[in-house]
Amino acid sequence: MVYPIVVYGSPILRQVAREIDPGYPGLKQLLADMFETMYKADGMGLAAPQIGKSIRIFVVDGTSLEDEDPSMKDFKKAFINPKIIQLEGDTSIMNEGCLSLPKLREDVDRHNKVRIRYCDENFSSCEEVYEGLKARVIQHEYDHLDGVMFIDRIPPLRRKLLKGKLNDISKCKVDVPYKIKLLK
């Protein structure tokens, strides 16, 4: 099932999401639906709050970029109850977008390396280090679980300039090729 994407202006995107336990009903289906929803919207990552569920899950799939960036091979995963243990390395600036902020792209400064502990789709505990674009995608999605969006990580002046566009998004006054909704 494809969910509509919850857009900026919806309070759920500003909440700290809660952890789930292994018995969470319909977890398998939910993960499948999250992947399906992400593909439909042509995204590389999707966090549960973006489909209206305030729980600590996000999915990623960067494998379509494998030709340009071989490190993206196998980067298709579900992260359940993730915890960033450490942000390492230098930071770098890269242009980012977000399915909940349609048509906005901004330069965002992030760490190049992240150590993360999480449960996979079978609720097995994992701890891994990711670098480069993978580290960026993970940090972006992880932020969603804490109610943070990439526009919070750009200079305030830059953010001010986006006010009109943000206002339009919060009224769903934006033309996007996937279903969006404002969740009051």
* Minimum CB distance to Zn ion, residue 26 (Å): 23
Residue 141 is among the residues annotated as catalytic for this protein: yes
Q: Does 98 bind Zn ion (CB under 5 A)?
A: yes
* Minimum CB distance to Zn ion, residue 160 (Å): 21
- Whichever of 98 and 135 has its CB closer to Zn ion, that residue is 98
Q: What is the 3-state secondary structure (H, E, C) of 120-182?
A: CCCCCEEEEEEEHHHHHHHHHHHHHHCCCCHHHHCCHHHHHHCHHHHHHHCCCCCCCCCCEEC
In the shown chain, the binding pattern of residues 45 to 84 toward Zn ion, with x for contact by CB under 5 A and - for none, equals ----------------------------------------
- Binding part of the chain for Zn ion, among 7-15, 90-98, 122-130, 167-175 by CB under 5 A, reads 90-98
- Whichever of 15 and 125 has its CB closer to Zn ion, that residue is 15
How deeply is 44 buried, as exposed, middle or buried, from its count of CB atoms within 10 A (0-12, 13-18, 19+)?
buried
How deeply is 95 buried, as exposed, middle or buried, from its count of CB atoms within 10 A (0-12, 13-18, 19+)?
exposed
* Minimum CB distance to Zn ion, residue 121 (Å): 21
Q: For residue 118, which of 163, 83, 144, 168 has the smallest C-alpha distance? A: 83
* Minimum CB distance to Zn ion, residue 29 (Å): 22
- Whichever of 123 and 170 has its CB closer to Zn ion, that residue is 170
Q: Give the interface size with Zn ion as a residue count (CB under 5 A).
A: 1
Taking the mean position of all CA atoms in its chain, how far away is CA 141?
Answer: 3
- What's the angle, vertex CA 69, arms to CA 121 and CA 120, rounded to 5? 10
Element (H, E) at 38: helix 27-40
Residues 144-163 that bind Zn ion (CB under 5 A): none
**Residues carrying an active site annotation:** 141
Residues that bind Zn ion (CB under 5 A): 98
